[in-house]
Amino acid sequence: SAGTAALPTQWGITAQMIQPLGDAQEGFRGFLWFARFDREAVWKNDYQEFMTILNHSIIEIDRKLMVEKAITYQANYDGITGLMNRAYFTDRLNQAVSANLDIAVIFIDVDGFKTINDTFGHDVGDQILMVIGQRITNVLDKADFSARFGGDEFAVMVHQRRGLTSTIDKIQQEFLEPIRLNSRKLFLTLSIGIALAPEDGERAEELMKHADLAMYHAKENGKNKAVFCSSELKAAQNREMALSNDLYQAIEQGQLSLHYQPQVDGRTGEIVGLEALARWYHPQLGMVSPGIFIPIAEKNGLINELGDWVLREACRQNKAWEMMGLGPMRISVNFSMVQFMAAGIVPRISAVIQEFDLKPKTLVVEITESINVYDFTQIDQTVQDLKKLGVAISIDDFGTEYSSLDRLKNLPVDEIKIDKRFIDGLPKDVSSIGIIRAIIALAEIFDLELVAEGVETEEQLEFLLAAGCRVIQGYYFYPPLSAEAVGDLLRTIHEQRTV
């Protein structure tokens, strides 16, 4: 409301009217002040109304400006850390590179951040992200800037000449200090990728893509390190992209086939099973290893189609051998976790078994549990459902990833496979021996079949037989063989037996 105050007479003011702008509720923004300098020392109603209207208009404009500011902020900044978001960072980076190419882009990914979120919850996770953002920003020069891209990914733009390597060092040093969480200390490490203008790109998108590539490489090679993008990295990525494209046609054009590696009773030499292993004969490159194309298929989404093809082909072949009087064989088929977690996997397996009229127990589903998989309830459900179908379940590469004891106890698994990397250590490496003995003991306790994989020498075979592992898969007996070669092998064995 308008009020009166003592007139500052030295200014010659004869009357004044004051209204507050805004109120306590919405925020008090100041005063609106009308003053008269003439003899007429009264305010007419018109003036008072005019003042009120003006007051409301100012408040309205101010309100709009605030909303606009909030919207720009939301559009450009990350709500948790207050750093720029991806879109705004990209804009600013483009401005920076067009002004001057003395620029490097650093991508930072916090190692194992998912575990933190899972262990402490998202609220704590957000607090930690805030601290991480502060620590990164702390070491930056005024002309440099940082962003959070969502998740645990951060990015920084720095000027190369102002000390790129020292900036990277400083960022890493900031994280030698643990983050304090109530009474806990949390040690975090970073995987860092760096791209330089102009060699890794002259536009923001390209620089960011290459910093990301280098960061991914840092992660894959043991984490907690900084990797510069290089022409080798770029070439490898291009090769992978080309392979990824070619893989789309591989199935249609019949470039895929299956080889089968016999699993042998190490004491008698009898073949007790076969593992189906996918092969890709690329028209220009020749044989491409499944170690390369399976991960690509997981990334580009072809794994389901590819996996379906593998399953059908293995079952079709098994039936064919059976019709030739060489079966029924026990065939193990590898399932990628991506494929295993896909909807409808159980009905699909069931349909294929029916299509070829196979006994369910002749199919062994091999899965590898990986640390990156979180939805254990879904895996467990699928395993239970497959169990009801009557197929056997095998845990591949046992001991290397997340195949915990506790889960083994609860899952109706039939078989575990000892990974080649432990077999490689035989007969001398003490820790390999320890692990193998432990796995064999486990298999006994839980009454599981055991297969040792990658057995290449007689010493390895003898050690395993003495330790209590009978089923052997490895070059010592057979490499993976074509279907034709397996057919011949089975026929020979069959004929010897009937003689």
Nearer to ligand C2E, 133 or 307 (CB): 307
Token output for 361 = 């127990």
Among 334, 382, 403, 473, interactor with Ca ion by CB under 5 A: 334
Site residue total, ligand C2E (CB under 6 A): 23
The CA distance from 169 to 87, in Å, is: 27
DSSP conformation class of 457: S
> Please, what's the b/e burial string for 350-362 (b: 16 or more CB within 10 A of its CB; e: otherwise)?
bebbeebebebeb
x/- track of binding to Ca ion for residues 445-464 (CB under 5 A): --------x-----------
Q: Which is nearer to ligand C2E, 145 or 477 (CB)?
A: 477
Among 129, 454, 464, 483, binds ligand C2E (CB under 6 A): 454
Interface positions, 274-303, toward ligand C2E (CB under 6 A): 277-278, 289-291, 294
Of 219, 236, 14, 256, give the one whose Cα is nearest residue 109: 219
For the chain, give percent helix, strand, coil, nearest 5.
Answer: 50, 25, 30
Residues ≥6 apart with Cβ < 8 Å to 452: 417, 418, 423, 436, 460, 464, 469, 471, 472, 473, 474
Q: How far is the CB of 330 from ligand C2E (least distance, A)?
A: 16
Site residues (CB under 6 A) for ligand C2E, limited to 31-70: none
Minimum CB separation from ligand C2E for residue 318, in Å? 14
User: Sign of the C-alpha dihedral, residues 455, 460, 462, 463?
Assistant: negative
Residue 339 within binding range of Ca ion, rule CB under 5 A: no
Q: Applying CB under 6 A, does 263 fall inside the site for ligand C2E?
A: no
Phi, psi of 269 (to 5 degrees): 80, 0
When the beta carbons of 188 and 455 are compared against ligand C2E, the nearer one is 455
Helix (H, G, I), strand (E, B) or coil at 193: strand
Site string for Ca ion, 254-283 (x = CB under 5 A): ------------------------------
384-423 footprint of Ca ion as x/- string (CB under 5 A): ------------xx--------------------------
Q: Which of 480, 483, 486, 490 binds ligand C2E (CB under 6 A)?
A: 480
| 369 near Ca ion, rule: CB under 5 A | no
The residue (of 192 and 310) whose beta carbon lies closer to ligand C2E is 310
| Contact (CB, 8 A) for 412 and 380 | no
Which CB sits closer to Ca ion, 215 or 435?
Answer: 435
CA pseudo-torsion sign 291, 294, 296, 298: negative
- Residue 476 CB, nearest distance to ligand C2E (Å)? 6
Task: Give the per-residue contact string, 386-415, with ligand C2E (x = CB under 6 A; - = no).
Answer: ----------xx------------------
Q: If binding is defined by CB under 5 A, does position 336 make contact with Ca ion? A: no
Least Å from the CB of residue 332 to Ca ion: 7
Decide whether 250 or 310 has the Cβ nearer to ligand C2E: 310
Backbone angles phi and psi of 475, in degrees to 5: -60, -25
| Cα–Cα distance for residue pair 167/105, rounded to 1 Å | 12
Q: Is 266 in the site for ligand C2E (CB under 6 A)?
A: no
Query: Exposure string (b/e) for 35-73, b if CB count within 10 Å is 16 or more?
Result: ebeeeeeebeeeeeeebeeebeeebeebeeeeeeeeeee
Q: Which of 190, 184, 168, 74 is nearest to 127 (CA)?
A: 184
Taken as a whole, the chain contains a residue count of 499
Does position 336 interact with ligand C2E (CB under 6 A)? The reply is yes
Of the candidates 84, 93, 83, which has an alpha carbon nearest to the alpha carbon of residue 196?
93
CB of residue 334 to ligand C2E, shortest distance in Å = 4
- 458-477 residues in contact with ligand C2E (CB under 6 A) are 473-475
Closest to ligand C2E by CB, 16 vs 332, is: 332
Return residues touching ligand C2E (CB under 6 A).
261, 277-278, 289-291, 294, 307, 310, 334-336, 396-397, 420, 453-456, 473-475, 480
- Interface positions with Ca ion (CB under 5 A): 334, 366, 396-397, 453
